[in-house]
Copies of this chain bind each other. A is one copy, B any other.
Amino acid sequence: MADYKKLINKIEKNEALVGVLGLGYVGLPLAVLFARKGVHVLGFEKSEKKTEMVNSAQNYIGDVEDHELAQVIESGFLTATTDFSRIAECQAIIICVPTPLDKFKKPDMSYIERACQEIGRVMKPGTFISLESTTYPTTTEEFMLPILEKESGLKHGDDFWVCYSPERVDPGNREFKTENTPKVVGGLGDEAQEIAMALYSRAIAQLHAVSNPRIAEMVKILENTYRLVNISLINEMALLSGKMGINIWEVIEAANTKPYGFQAFYPGPGIGGHCIPLDPFYLEYIAKNFNFDLTMIHTAGHIDNLMPHRMTIKINTALNRHKKAINGSTVLFLGVAYKPNISDERESPALKIMDEVAKKGGLVQYHDPFVPEVHTDEGNRYESMPLSDEILKEADCVVVTTNHSGFDIPEIIERANLVVDLRNAVPTASDKVYKL
């Protein structure tokens, strides 16, 4: 039997080597943060390119400061590797791999599965493993643990310990980063919890302990389900308001003067990113296993699925006012990232609208200073165009899909023939500006 107090002691003396699996938008900021706090970190990454970039202090994650990465690489506290057998060297391992949904909105657990197999194969007694990837409740106990035990021949509680602690990374958030965002920690059993608290408290200012991993798993999904449901609600309200001649943006601004019991959400062309369109459906998946229908998530998903189509209809309506059809018109999209001022276009609704406009015979173009190139679900590939006078003038319709703060909206309206504003970039509608 391994002694969990020995591990805690090592962690507290910064003598434990911490392995971070996956150096993406969650893993790299976390690895850099631990390293900055004097913890020795080994970062594991499948991509050779990313591994080389990290080791040569070339930053590829917006939420990581270049100089901080440089500092921890130079000091040797952080090293990246593609050699997963070196997991054997680590006393604590944090899993930050992706958990996508497949095309049928079924959770793709293969990344977690492989991570657990790789850990299980080589880990020594006395190892602590924490999962940060968003997933459905019961994953840590009923999916991760059996793989680890099977592959290692070790026993949880005696030889190793697991924990679930959801990442709360909000890309582009300048106020709340990994270090100052309170972290929910759900160890499996008291010993696991004690190790988890000792480990995370090296780097993170405020920890919130919960009774078990499945509570922590549910926390993350509740947070993002709340967002999905409220965005879907306001999108539906926006569509109705459009029909009723009500400016939904003015409604929200006014409702937001209520000093309690209200949180403003804003409509848009749909939901995007790697969390909100995905996480709730993890819960919907496991709920079926409990013979339970999550009707709110289902309805929200239904609204969301229809948004790109409804936005295409808005483009159609706007062009129709100018006696034009989508078929044969040039439609220029401004912004394809899923939110302003970041370079991430994953699950971005803009891409889905572009696909639908292209399918209807529209000539699709886009401009996004953060995203040089996109590949859509329908297999289309587009490159960002420079926002020249000519391009603006030649477009039959300019669609504001992402409100990057760099866009000079008055200038764009001045030069464009027709603007469909899906982001409240323009305060009031006019002959030239069609607003969601």
Contact = CB atoms under 8 A, between A and B. Distances in A.
A405 interface: no
A222 interface: yes
Q: How large is the interface on A (under 10, 10 to 19, 20 to 34, 35 or more residues)?
A: 35 or more
Contacts of A92: none
Contacts of A243: 290-292
Given A138-B244, A215-B254, A254-B208, A236 B295 contact: yes
In the complex this chain forms, how many copies of it are found?
A: 2
A214 interface: yes
**A181, A227, A244, A286 pick with most chain B CB within 10 angstroms:** A244
Given A215-B246, A215-B251, A287-B240, A170 B296 contact: no
Given A214-B244, A233-B229, A223 B255 contact: yes
A303 interface: yes
Contacts of A230: 226, 229-230
Interface stretch (A112-120, A121-129, A256-264, A328-336): A256-264
B296 A255 contact: no
B250 A211 contact: yes
A17 interface: no
A210 interface: yes
Contacts of A287: 240
B295 A240 contact: no
Nearest to A252: B222
**A168, A170, A219, A298 pick with most chain B CB within 10 angstroms:** A219
A290 B240 contact: yes
A223 B261 contact: yes
A229 B229 contact: yes
A88 B260 CA distance: 38
B137 A246 contact: yes
A222 B251 contact: yes
Interface in A152-190: 168, 170, 173, 175-176, 181-182, 184
Contact of A210 (B211, B250, B294): B250
Contacts of A262: 223, 226-227
Contacts of A176: 259-260
Interface in A194-230: 206, 208, 210-211, 214-216, 218-219, 222-223, 225-227, 229-230
A229 B263 CA distance: 12
Nearest to A216: B254
A239 interface: yes
A26 interface: no
A302 interface: yes
A260 B229 contact: no
Contacts of A236: 294-296
Contacts of A227: 261-262
A233 B222 CA distance: 10
Contacts of A255: 184, 219, 222-223, 226
Contacts of A181: 258-259
A218 B259 contact: no
Given A225-B237, A233-B225, A233-B226, A254 B219 contact: yes
A139 interface: no
A149 to B, nearest CB: 21
A323 to B, nearest CB: 25
A241 interface: yes
Interface in A274-303: 283, 286-287, 290-292, 294-296, 298-300, 302-303
A413 B286 CA distance: 34
Interface of A: 137-138, 168, 170, 173, 175-176, 181-182, 184, 206, 208, 210-211, 214-216, 218-219, 222-223, 225-227, 229-230, 232-233, 236-237, 239-241, 243-248, 250-252, 254-255, 257-263, 283, 286-287, 290-292, 294-296, 298-300, 302-303
13 contacts: A176-B259, A184-B255, A184-B257, A210-B250, A214-B246, A216-B254, A225-B233, A229-B229, A236-B294, A236-B296, A240-B292, A295-B302, A298-B299
In the A-B complex, the 4 residue pairs with the smallest Cβ-Cβ separation, listed nearest first, are A182-B257, A299-B299, A263-B263, A219-B254
